[in-house]
Structure 1
Amino acid sequence: MAQFAEDHDHLGSAVCPRHLAGPGDPRHVTHALRAAGWHTASDPLHPTVALHSPDYSHQLTLAPQAGHPYRPWWRIRSPHGKAHWSAEFSGTTPVEIIAGLTDALIQPPPEHLRGPMELLTSHGWGYHAQSGGSESATSPDKAVSMEWQISPVAGTLGWAIEAVDRHNLDRPGFLWRASLDDNTPSHLVTAFATALADPEPVLRGRFEIPYGLPLKQEQEEPLGPKTAAAHTARLAQARRHRPKPALSTSPSVPSAPPRTTSPARPAR
């Protein structure tokens, strides 16, 4: 935590919308999973990070690719059983949006679940139904879309999410991409959509804020104390979902009776 606070001890601002805010600090995701009891399964001397859930049913891999930030860096999957699923995010995806899905992995599913399209349209996103069953929602600024894809040839493909820069022709046409396959549990898709549409600003350092995008930027201030406090609270919340150690079911062994010391015999 001390290193995290030191790394954020600089000037910055709260910015929104979050889908244009840039990637942020990956530890926003990985520290929370570790606090919730996930195991590290990677070499600490290698840049790839691999984590497993406590019951090994879910895996997260963060594999940076030098010079290719728009390729999938983040991979989250449940490889076991018939309902295996996977999700991928480019290295430029805002970590707060990725955390929408990963935070839902460490919490019990909600009793009442809204569909992702219903949730997005309630935040003012435009809805588009297409022939063949595909449907999509587009953010009010037209920068990001979330599409349920169905191919007439291959069938259901899953969810495709893409953020596009429509204001600066000097940078690549897209900002980040994500995909959730068609087996991704509904509550995880909705949790991702919730984080995607969340209007709450996110914190970024002065030199982390993307240039030339239509971001709303609050007054610049020292970020260290505020970022550290928010991260500390986030990890405390994650620890509440850490699995409790299993109680031992082995029969208790009665303790041996205390030894009594015989009185010393008098010397003859």
Structure 2
Amino acid sequence: MINYLRHMAVFTKVVDEQSFRAAAKSLGLAPSRVSETISDLEKFLGVTLFYRTTRKLSLTTEGSKFYEHAAQVTRHAEAGINELNATSQKPAGSLKVSLPAFLTHSTITNAIVEFAKLYPEVSLSLFYTDQVMDIVKEGLDLSIRVGWPKDSSMMSRKLGESKRMLVAGKQYAKQFAQVQHPTDLKDADWVRFQMRNNTIDFTSKAGEAVSISEHSRISANSAEALLNLALQNLGLTILPEHAIKSHLETGELVQILPQWDLKPLGYYAIWPDQSRRENLTLMLVRFIAGRSE
């Protein structure tokens, strides 16, 4: 059994990376060596662990059952290594992190850059996407998310908030120069973010709360796309302040109803309750939080 602990670690990496080649690259091994290791493990166990096709790699029923145990063994081993690394002040290991694409240029990304420079023995795989990635399914160690988390099965820490603003391109904004109330926008064209519902809550400086529904014929799944579409005067849209600050300064974008506030975006670090790299994950979370506060 003890002779196959390395095989289990390689197997876990293949599952996490969903590819023999990607696992080989992560482990610094030749793809043929990874394939041989999995074949040896299957021979030892007497079962087939993967369905292999030219396009897809998926676990068999036996493979799924075995992964639960192999991942736990690997997780505990990595936790022990990370704990020793933490006490020696020389963190080492790898972390797989997802972030919204619009945070490519942000204080959070800057904090990750600083972390990478301080700890050169830590490898970071960063996935920038406005689609919400499944932390468990994708084998993520950490996910940075915006909004207000609802999944109580995960650990979380608030990193900060960002003001949201209702904006439009300078040409389209001209027709709203005199509007004073959200209900005056009932005939407006909107460019909607697909991961958000179409109800928008406004609060006036005096405390009046108003909800309206946006009517959009154009929607997008990317904040960067929303920005580009708004700049081309296709309609009103809502974007975080940090992403549009320069365009507001140049006048390319104009804030609509500046006397009304929108609920800010919350930025959260989300990670599994039993992270395979718990200490290293927590170290990165605390580091980001310290730079974001």
Q: Tell whether the structures are fold-level matches, with TM greater than 0.5.
A: no
TM-score normalized by the length of structure 2: 0.20
Compare relative contact order (CA 8 Å, sep 6+) and give the higher one, 1 or 2: 1
TM-score normalized by the length of structure 1: 0.22
Higher normalized helix content (fraction of residues): 2
